[in-house]
């Protein structure tokens, strides 16, 4: 037998590739591999590395090369999804942080007190700095009339007497209310005041309202149309009790006859009695008093010169001289004041400008010539006991004499 294998059993030996043939096959495999994806705009500037395509072995079959290509694309999509999720998570975190910060701080500022002492301290410091709105933010129930609860009025108050040396101390406190003792220097004096403070939903308010100044006496004395100013701001005509912050205030008027240059200090009220401070009454100026006395004297002299029993000054009642016949010559009637002296002027303090009452004691004598030519005389039953002056209009003072 021959030792050579049969033709059917022989496996053909693979052909050896030349250098040119191997290079051609490698280029073909490279061209069939999926190209590396370009980085998107979303990934520019990031620190993540762009995944590269898994190299396909030269001798891998078509199925293996397809599987590797799909795995590479899937991995790249997962990377992009991860980057998007990471960016969205960062945005959510930032939003949560900003929201939390705002939720914790949006109430901070004037009127937001975390303790009773902080509420009183904030209120007094706002007043001392001339910040009316900030001070009212600490008050539980701000007054309706805020005519003088303004920065403008507080600015003048600070010029007259600044508030200094503010100290506060909580003397009693529970979950809903507290008492805070405060001291401060104002107009050269130490003011001590106990504030009532109450708890709101999540902060404390000063329950004590500003002190009121009472202007009723001023309105009783002055006419309704006479202007009154406090630290340069006009008081409304219908206002009788007006709230004020602690401070110093100058009350003035433009009426020439009234001295209303009053400086009043609004400090700690006596809460056991009243929170309303009564102002000192206005007084007539020296010039006003002199002019009233002159006007009264001129009025009396004019009535004394009238040749009639029934003068304009009502020297006597209608029935006193009714039995006396009318003189043939009325020009012979004459009035005199034997104990004549200068009429007094009004006092400095008056009840009202429209009715300034001045007490007098004037005994008069009337003389005339009767029909027979005889001289006659008589005295009224009662003397003049007062005159009333109306000073509402400084340019037109009116005087009325009275025997009662």
Strands 247-253 and 204-206: unpaired
pTM: 0.61
Domain assignment present for 67: no
Selection from 151, 119, 152 nearest residue 137 by Cα = 119
Q: Cα–Cα distance between 212 and 242 in angstroms, integer?
A: 5
196 CB-near residues (< 8 Å, 6+ apart): 177, 178, 179, 206, 207, 208
- Is residue 4 pLDDT above 50, yes or no? no
* Mean pLDDT, range 322-326, rounded to an integer: 70
* Mean pLDDT, range 41-56, rounded to an integer: 46
Rg of the chain in Å (alpha carbons): 52
pLDDT digits (tens, 9 = 90+) for 167-211: 999 888 888 888 999 999 998 889 888 888 888 877 888 886 678
Domain assignment present for 194: yes
3 state SS of 211? strand
Do 324 and 397 have their domain in common? yes
Domain assignment present for 4: no
Domain assignment present for 292: yes
Both tokens assigned to 175: 């979950």
Both tokens assigned to 114: 């975390």
Do 290 and 393 have their domain in common? yes
Domain assignment present for 44: no
Domain assignment present for 85: no
Both tokens assigned to 51: 């995944």
Please report which confidence band the pLDDT of residue 28 belongs to, taking 50, 70 and 90 as the band edges: very low
Give pLDDT, residue 123: 92
Give pLDDT, residue 57: 53
* Mean pLDDT, range 78-89, rounded to an integer: 69
- What is the number of domains present in the chain? 3
- Is residue 33 pLDDT above 90, yes or no? no
Domain assignment present for 198: yes
Residue 170 sits in a domain of what CATH number? 3.10.450.50
- Is residue 164 pLDDT above 90, yes or no? yes
* Mean pLDDT, range 15-32, rounded to an integer: 46
Give, for 233, the enclosing helix (H) or strand (E): strand 233-234
Do 272 and 291 have their domain in common? no
Both tokens assigned to 136: 């009212």
**Where is the domain boundary, 210, 229, 254?**
210
Both tokens assigned to 30: 């490279």
Do 244 and 199 have their domain in common? no
* Mean pLDDT, range 223-246, rounded to an integer: 84
Tokens 């009053």 correspond to what residue? Answer: 262
Please report which confidence band the pLDDT of residue 299 belongs to, taking 50, 70 and 90 as the band edges: very high
Do 344 and 378 have their domain in common? yes
Tokens 């009642």 correspond to what residue? Answer: 317
Give, for 283, the enclosing helix (H) or strand (E): strand 283-284
Do 184 and 122 have their domain in common? yes
Please report which confidence band the pLDDT of residue 292 belongs to, taking 50, 70 and 90 as the band edges: very high
Mean pLDDT over the full length of the chain = 76
Give pLDDT, residue 273: 42
90 CB-near residues (< 8 Å, 6+ apart): none
pLDDT digits (tens, 9 = 90+) for 252-266: 888 888 887 678 888
- Is residue 340 pLDDT above 50, yes or no? yes
* Mean pLDDT, range 373-402, rounded to an integer: 88
**Weakest-pLDDT range from 9-23, 129-143, 328-342, 351-365:** 9-23
Do 268 and 293 have their domain in common? no
Number of C-beta neighbours around residue 173 at 10 A: 16
Do 134 and 196 have their domain in common? yes
- Is residue 21 pLDDT above 90, yes or no? no
* Mean pLDDT, range 358-376, rounded to an integer: 87
Give, for 161, the enclosing helix (H) or strand (E): none
255 CB-near residues (< 8 Å, 6+ apart): 222, 226, 227, 353, 394
The four Cα atoms 233, 239, 240, 244 give a dihedral, to 10 degrees, of -50
Selection from 105, 115, 106, 163 nearest residue 138 by Cα = 115
Instruction: Determine the structural domain holding residue 125 and report its residue range.
Output: 116-210
* Mean pLDDT, range 54-62, rounded to an integer: 55
Give pLDDT, residue 97: 45
For residues 107 and 86, the answer to whether their CB atoms sit within 8 Å is no
**Weakest-pLDDT range from 25-29, 83-87, 121-125:** 25-29
Please report which confidence band the pLDDT of residue 124 belongs to, taking 50, 70 and 90 as the band edges: very high
- Is residue 90 pLDDT above 50, yes or no? yes
Domain assignment present for 42: no
- Is residue 87 pLDDT above 50, yes or no? yes
Residue 182: phi, psi to the nearest 5? -125, 145
290 CB-near residues (< 8 Å, 6+ apart): 345
246 CB-near residues (< 8 Å, 6+ apart): 124, 127, 163, 184, 186, 191, 210, 211, 266, 267, 268
Give pLDDT, residue 48: 45
Q: Cα–Cα distance between 404 and 398 in angstroms, integer?
A: 18
Do 299 and 376 have their domain in common? yes
Residues in the chain: 404
Do 256 and 292 have their domain in common? no
Q: Cα–Cα distance between 349 and 123 in angstroms, integer?
A: 38
- Is residue 231 pLDDT above 60, yes or no? yes
- Is residue 402 pLDDT above 70, yes or no? yes
Do 291 and 231 have their domain in common? no
Do 306 and 368 have their domain in common? yes
Give pLDDT, residue 143: 81
State CA 156 to chain mean position distance: 14
Q: What angle do CA 306, 310, 312 make, to 5 degrees?
A: 65
**Where is the domain boundary, 161, 183, 210?**
210
**Where is the domain boundary, 260, 281, 302?**
281
């Amino acid at each position: 037998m021959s030792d050579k294998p049969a033709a059917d059993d022989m496996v053909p030996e693979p052909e050896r590739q030349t250098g040119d043939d191997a290079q051609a096959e490698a280029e073909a495999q490279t061209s069939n591999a999926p190209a590396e994806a370009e980085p998107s705009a979303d990934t520019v500037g990031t620190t993540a590395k762009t995944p590269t395509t898994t190299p396909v072995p030269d001798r891998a079959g078509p199925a293996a090369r397809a599987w590797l290509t799909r795995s590479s694309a899937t991995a790249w999509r997962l990377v992009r999804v991860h980057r998007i999720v990471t960016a969205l998570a960062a945005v959510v975190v930032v939003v949560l942080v900003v929201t939390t910060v705002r939720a914790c701080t949006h109430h901070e500022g004037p009127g937001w007190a975390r303790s009773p002492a902080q509420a009183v301290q904030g209120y007094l410091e706002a007043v001392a700095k001339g910040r009316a709105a900030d001070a009212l933010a600490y008050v539980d129930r701000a007054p309706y009339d805020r005519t003088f609860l303004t920065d403008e009025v507080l600015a003048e108050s600070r010029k007259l007497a600044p508030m200094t040396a503010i100290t506060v101390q909580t003397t009693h406190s529970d979950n809903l209310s507290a008492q805070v003792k405060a001291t401060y220097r104002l107009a050269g004096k130490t003011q001590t005041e106990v504030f009532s403070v109450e708890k709101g939903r999540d902060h404390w308010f000063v329950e004590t309202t500003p002190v009121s100044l009472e202007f009723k006496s001023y309105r009783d004395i002055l006419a309704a149309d006479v202007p009154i100013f406090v630290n340069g701001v006009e008081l409304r005509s219908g206002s009788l009790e007006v709230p004020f912050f602690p401070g110093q205030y100058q009350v003035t008027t433009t009426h020439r006859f009234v001295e209303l240059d009053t400086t009043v200090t609004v400090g700690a009220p006596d809460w056991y009695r009243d929170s309303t401070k009564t102002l000192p009454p206005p007084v007539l100026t020296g010039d006003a008093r002199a002019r009233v006395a002159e006007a009264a004297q001129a009025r009396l002299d004019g009535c004394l010169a009238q040749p009639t029993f029934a003068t304009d000054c009502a020297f006597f009642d209608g029935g006193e001289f009714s039995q006396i016949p009318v003189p043939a010559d009325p020009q012979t009637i004459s009035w005199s004041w034997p104990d004549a002296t200068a009429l007094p002027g009004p006092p400095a303090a008056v009840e009202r400008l429209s009715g300034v009452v001045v007490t007098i004691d004037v005994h008069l004598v009337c003389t005339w010539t009767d029909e027979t030519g005889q001289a006659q005389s008589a005295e009224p039953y009662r003397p003049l006991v007062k005159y009333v002056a109306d000073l509402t209009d400084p340019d037109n003072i009116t005087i009325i004499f009275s025997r009662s």
